[in-house]
Amino acid sequence: MIAAPSTTPILSARAKALKPSLTLAISARAKALREAGKDVCSLSAGEPDFDTPAFIRQAAADALEAGHTRYGPAAGEPALRSAIAAKLCSENQLAISPEQVLVTNGGKQALYNLFQVLLGPGDELLLPSPYWLSYPEMAQLAGASVALIPCSPAQGFRLDPAQLEAAITPASKLLVLNSPGNPTGMVLSRPELEAIAAVLRRHPQVAVVCDEIYEFLLAPGHSHHSLAAVAPDLAERVFTVNGFAKGWAMTGWRVGWLAGPSTVVAAASALQSQSTSNVCSFAQFGALAAINGPRDCVRAMAAKFDERRNLLAEGLTGMDGVKLEPPQGAFYAFPDVSAHGLDSMTFCNRLLDEVGLAVVPGVAFGEDRCIRLSCAANPATLVDGLERLKRFLAAL
Ligand code: PLP
């Protein structure tokens, strides 16, 4: 018998629908140009350029030596779940018990698990736009559709409660609030959260996930508020996602959390137990040292980001055909460059080819008028990047 020729398996509809990451595409092009000997400056990174503080690295090394190398509880080390709950109570004024906390592989897995257990076909994710690019993909992986709520540069990217009210339908299941926000740096104030809460009270079927991963990175004069602290009556449908990546410079450690109503967190934990199990055990002990440790290191890095955010914002302000809504937090600037008449992908490709500056096109975040520059780079690199942008604009 002649064996049938082997063929590559056909991808699932789910896999076929996934969009490749534009951020990775730009980084890969920048890397290839650099390897080809071109002088490239990159302001595309989404991660702190600082090392994880030494006491955290030491705690993980100690845990490794002490034999924390085996499977642990899928929901996380009990001591870490307790410490996260205590942090949420003391720093965020949330009434969260350790059972309401799931330790995840970064904030990303917290969001992924939550979307998987809350969303399905027929459900709608309410997503203020611009948005962090993984939210729509994760909603679609759960079979749900995405209802974008456009928050334009002209409105400072701020979610207008009337717009939220108008976007809600019987299918609306989950709203994403990301403050401080990626890519815009927009920070929701307490009165804004109160106004959003007032809308949500009229729509009991809508749950909310607050992505607070940039919590510690705030410009002076801005403070971080958790929705369930501002509106405790909504706590039964508010979820908080956060992690160690940005505040403690621990992107590669992959430790984050989901906190909220216990039945949903238990479902997310069950999903995690059947997919990835516990987060790397010794990394969790590093995270435990971080969260229980003094916040000096977090504050010192946040202060550096503030200086760099200012440097970037001052450099962009006044550039020809560049309109910047000054970022209030996180570590990005998201200027509107549409006056130059190019779509954001063409703008970024030409910027890279013509002056060797890598930044991310706004279309990746749902806003084709803008580009995202990261200030997670040293001041000399930021100055170099700004000069390259100026040169590019002058030649356009
Ligand atoms: N949420 C936002 C808004 C982000 O920008 C990121 C990372 O860039 C994440 C979540 C995921 O963070 P983590 O590295 O903890 O998975």
At residue 253, the pLDDT reads 98
**pLDDT bucket at 186, cuts 50 / 70 / 90:** very high
- Judged against a pLDDT cut of 80, whether residue 2 lies above it is answered with no
Backbone Cα Rg of the chain: 22
- Judged against a pLDDT cut of 80, whether residue 5 lies above it is answered with no
Q: What angle do CA 99, 101, 105 make, to 5 degrees?
A: 140
At residue 102, the pLDDT reads 98
At residue 20, the pLDDT reads 79
Residues in the chain: 396
Query: 283 CB contacts (<8 Å, ≥6 apart)?
Result: 60, 253, 254, 255
Ligand 1 pocket, CB under 6 A: 46, 106-108, 132, 178, 182, 211, 213, 243, 245, 251, 256
The mean per-residue pLDDT over the stretch 187-192 comes to 98
Count Cα neighbours of 285 within 13 Å in the Cβ-side half-sphere: 17
Query: 379 CB contacts (<8 Å, ≥6 apart)?
Result: 307, 308, 311
Cα 312 to middle of ligand 1, angstroms: 22
**pLDDT bucket at 1, cuts 50 / 70 / 90:** low
- Judged against a pLDDT cut of 70, whether residue 390 lies above it is answered with yes
Which atom, in ligand 1's list, is nearest to the CA of 211?
1
Question: What is the location of CATH 3.40.640.10 in the chain?
Answer: 70-292
Q: What is the mean pLDDT of the chain?
A: 96
At residue 268, the pLDDT reads 98
Q: Mapped to the 3 state alphabet, what secondary structure does the chain carry?
A: CCCCCCCCCCCCHHHHHCCCCHHHHHHHHHHHHHHCCCCCEECCCCCCCCCCCHHHHHHHHHHHHCCCCCCCCCCCCHHHHHHHHHHHHHHHCCCCCHHHEEEECHHHHHHHHHHHHHCCCCCEEEEEECCCCHHHHHHHHCCCEEEEEECCHHHCCCCCHHHHHHHCCCCEEEEEEECCCCCCCCCCCHHHHHHHHHHHHCCCCCEEEEECCCCCCECCCCCCCCHHHHCHHHHHHEEEEEECCCCCCCHHHCCEEEECCHHHHHHHHHHHHCCCCCCCHHHHHHHHHHHHCCCHHHHHHHHHHHHHHHHHHHHHCCCCCCECCCCCECCEECCECHHHCCCHHHHHHHHHHHHCEECEEHHHHCCCCEEEEECCCCHHHHHHHHHHHHHHHHHC
Q: Which residues of 127-155 are buried (b: 16+ CB within 10 A; e: fewer)?
A: bbbbbbbbbbbbbbbbebebbebebebee
Residue pLDDT, tens place only, 237-277: 999 999 999 999 999 999 999 999 999 999 999 999 999 99
Cα 133 to middle of ligand 1, angstroms: 10
Cα 282 to middle of ligand 1, angstroms: 21
Give the class (CATH, top level) of 14-51+297-395.
alpha beta
Which atom, in ligand 1's list, is nearest to the CA of 105?
16
Cα 28 to middle of ligand 1, angstroms: 20
**pLDDT bucket at 45, cuts 50 / 70 / 90:** confident
Cα 108 to middle of ligand 1, angstroms: 6
Which atom, in ligand 1's list, is nearest to the CA of 330?
5
Question: What is the location of CATH 3.90.1150.10 in the chain?
Answer: 14-51+297-395
> Would residue 84 be called left, alpha or beta, if left means φ above 0 and alpha means ψ between -120 and 50 degrees?
alpha
Cα 270 to middle of ligand 1, angstroms: 22
- The yes or no reply on domain 70-292 and CATH 2.30.290.10 is no
At residue 39, the pLDDT reads 95
The mean per-residue pLDDT over the stretch 93-103 comes to 98
The mean per-residue pLDDT over the stretch 133-141 comes to 96
Residue pLDDT, tens place only, 284-324: 999 999 999 999 999 999 999 999 999 999 999 989 999 99
Which atom, in ligand 1's list, is nearest to the CA of 109?
16
